Structure 1
């Protein structure tokens, strides 16, 4: 009963939120000839693939395409990508397009509009096919919210059978893929068809702008809901030939909370039944040529790990001290070294720049908050970061051994990350090589003055002589 009440409330709130969308008139010069929406629910990360065939029915070229998202989804959106399909010599390819959120005065209350900027304006009467990928996190809600060690995890997901769009859609279909064939219930909006792990809604003909039909799915999903609540990555650059990486993790299982008493005997004797939604292994994809790898928590070093190194990549498979069930948490630290020449380069203007990977090395995890700190060598000036997406940036100071003025730290912060955020970024800075001699000279000077002090002490007579 509690689940039905929550489901009905979710549908009611969705309907109320989308009724206001009808007041927003779509641009009359564009229409969607065909729309196909594919929703992947195989893991905790929801991926939606949109294929839109857009036609310009107006008299003037169109320079952008609008996407609409309901207010209930905005807070969960992690990433939006778009591309336009092109054909060259009978070969289909895709060109990436910029997607930006836009504020429109006549947008409905709570609705968010995103604009896809076209490389070339869409001429009157012309058609183009667009591919859109958007990823959401924390949208799968466990129900029941608590399960025992022997129970499977059930979640629910709500969306719309229709593609939400500011344009008139002539034909559309929605496909939903579940991780297993165990589906407790799902909303039917005829025509609806289910085959194995896939549910198809549609095709639907001639739907007006902002058409919405709420649907709710209740299904089994035992994929580990591994969420890094906070990750602090420190990348320390040393011009003496190495880069040291230190990563501090606060990991949680965000699935249905575990209830009752944990039985390790049952967990080990019946691995296919007991704790099927828990996880005990994690995989970190590290750069190649990694060395000096360590893995520890607050108690000390953890030896249950395996490192596989290769020319193109390295993989660290490790186990926390205990398996993680829903609601359980763990904290640990991973550290490793990398060769400097593979990641530090010199730009044409003479500046140095670090080329590294943003994001979280752990596979199939959601990161609620990431703080990436790039520690530059002492004496570095004019730091600037180039990141392919929007992040918060600021500078800090860090003092280490033998530092005089301190090291500049470029701090990059971002929330709600998914594996697709693991892309390259650059940090540029200027550096005078004379600063590399600062620490050796300080050590030499310290030893020199120490020996001078020792010699002076040996040659000084501090005895008290008798007065004649």
Structure 2
């Protein structure tokens, strides 16, 4: 028995060693000829646009490209998308690529990976241009952590001047875009250039795999730090041709906490100065042909809302009963009806499908916890849900 365990352990170690050797040799077959990263810091949701010109310098075709993320960003990743660039200039087009999380046995210091599947294997000597978008949430840290009503909000953002990658990068440049030109401080890594609201790092040349150079930016950001701590969306399918939506929100301002007294007189008389980091309205983008819209809280109906509709979309602007400063919270409910025929479809085999948006309609908000409840009409059988990312699913029968 002991001998068998030793053999199994030896085989496992051999397999891991071969796998590690495979990924190490694989990374040497690809190099990034040029990388340009643009990081948008103009809201509390950080959007990163990455353009990679990859080249196969190995001896065998490559079918995937790896993206690497440091452990400090792993829990902040909300979305990763990639596309291949086809054509040039006016004839340029983009083809979406599959992106899936993956693991490497020799990943350094908690690095997380995503694998981009190429449309066609990249042969030796060939190049391809990839466009990557990834979004980070909860990555801006208010500092100071508390501010008064009349103070602007300053935040920290931490990253690297160099792009973390398992590949050698021949040339790379990073651009940061801030909401205003008020930049308190930033880490200098020459060459570094600043012009207005843009900060440029690089170009840097010939950096080996996993190069990382921490930087810190301290800048003004008074955009709404709107966080939905919890959202419950209830979707009720009616036999009478209607889709009824009820959304219950627990909203918070996740920016620097408000300190001191709040003066409504000062807030209303000097709106451009007093409470500049607060927010008093939000925009919800709803489907077209929406009807029977309401907006209320525990007290009752809230009249400060405005609905704009056209044949392509509906926009509902809502105002809580009071402006939200850092640390303040509000709860409310939005409800509306939709024509069922716009979302319910029947397949040739007689099954019915409801095609409906999963996420939150509020613009520029982050949802920490989302629950979607779908109430099926009486007589519905064998329900199932198809969602393009992992979620917990439960079936309740009443």
Deviations 1:415-455 (Å, cap 9, x if unpaired)? xxxxxxxxxxxxxxxxxxxxxxxxxxxxxxxxxxxxxxxxx
Deviations 1:41-62 (Å, cap 9, x if unpaired)? 0000001111000000111000
Range 351-360 or range 260-269, more displaced: 351-360
Cα contact 1:85–1:95 (8 A) shared by 2: yes
Range 345-354 or range 132-141, more displaced: 345-354
RMSD value over aligned CA atoms? 1.3
SS in 2 for 1:138: coil
SS in 2 for 1:385: coil
Distance 1:110 1:246, change over 3 A: same
In the alignment, structure 1 residue 54 sits paired with structure 2 residue 44: no
**Unpaired segments of 5 or more residues in structure 2?**
1-22
* Residue 96 of structure 1: aligned partner: 96
In structure 2, C-alpha distance between the alignment counterparts of 1:209 and 1:92, rounded to whole Å: 30
Alignment of 1:31-50 (within 5 A): 31-50=31-50
SS in 2 for 1:386: coil
In structure 2, C-alpha distance between the alignment counterparts of 1:89 and 1:314, rounded to whole Å: 34
Alignment of 1:49-88 (within 5 A): 49-87=49-87
* Residue 395 of structure 2: aligned partner: 395
How far 1:307 moved relative to its partner? 1.2
In structure 2, C-alpha distance between the alignment counterparts of 1:90 and 1:296, rounded to whole Å: 48
* Residue 117 of structure 1: aligned partner: 117
* Residue 227 of structure 1: aligned partner: 227
Deviations 1:329-379 (Å, cap 9, x if unpaired)? 000011111111111111122101111112111111111111111111111
* Residue 169 of structure 2: aligned partner: 169
Deviations 1:205-230 (Å, cap 9, x if unpaired)? 10011111111000000001000000
In the alignment, structure 1 residue 200 sits paired with structure 2 residue 200: yes
Bigger RCO of structures 1 and 2 (CA < 8 A, at least 6 apart): 2
In structure 2, C-alpha distance between the alignment counterparts of 1:241 and 1:267, rounded to whole Å: 46
Distance 1:120 1:107, change over 3 A: same
How far 1:391 moved relative to its partner? 2.2
* Residue 150 of structure 1: aligned partner: 150
How far 1:384 moved relative to its partner? 1.4
Range 382-391 or range 113-122, more displaced: 382-391
Distance 1:90 1:196, change over 3 A: closer
Deviations 1:207-263 (Å, cap 9, x if unpaired)? 011111111000000001000000000010012111110000000000000000000
* Residue 302 of structure 1: aligned partner: 302
Cα contact 1:239–1:340 (8 A) shared by 2: no
How far 1:88 moved relative to its partner? 7.7
How far 1:389 moved relative to its partner? 2.5
In the alignment, structure 1 residue 265 sits paired with structure 2 residue 246: no
Alignment of 1:403-442 (within 5 A): 406=398
In structure 2, C-alpha distance between the alignment counterparts of 1:222 and 1:88, rounded to whole Å: 38
* Residue 8 of structure 2: aligned partner: none
In structure 1, C-alpha distance between the alignment counterparts of 2:206 and 2:89, rounded to whole Å: 34
* Residue 353 of structure 1: aligned partner: 353
* Residue 321 of structure 2: aligned partner: 321
Alignment of 1:285-296 (within 5 A): 285-296=285-296
**Unpaired segments of 5 or more residues in structure 1?**
1-23, 398-405, 407-468
Cα contact 1:345–1:353 (8 A) shared by 2: yes
In structure 2, C-alpha distance between the alignment counterparts of 1:55 and 1:243, rounded to whole Å: 50
In structure 1, C-alpha distance between the alignment counterparts of 2:392 and 2:331, rounded to whole Å: 25
In the alignment, structure 1 residue 250 sits paired with structure 2 residue 253: no
Higher Rg of the two aligned structures:
1
How far 1:292 moved relative to its partner? 1.0
How far 1:99 moved relative to its partner? 0.9
In the alignment, structure 1 residue 379 sits paired with structure 2 residue 379: yes
Cα contact 1:37–1:50 (8 A) shared by 2: yes
* Residue 453 of structure 1: aligned partner: none
In structure 2, C-alpha distance between the alignment counterparts of 1:348 and 1:94, rounded to whole Å: 33
* Residue 279 of structure 2: aligned partner: 279
SS in 1 for 2:395: strand
In structure 2, C-alpha distance between the alignment counterparts of 1:342 and 1:228, rounded to whole Å: 28
TM-score, structure 1 as length reference = 0.79
TM-score, structure 2 as length reference = 0.92
In structure 2, C-alpha distance between the alignment counterparts of 1:207 and 1:215, rounded to whole Å: 17
In the alignment, structure 1 residue 369 sits paired with structure 2 residue 376: no
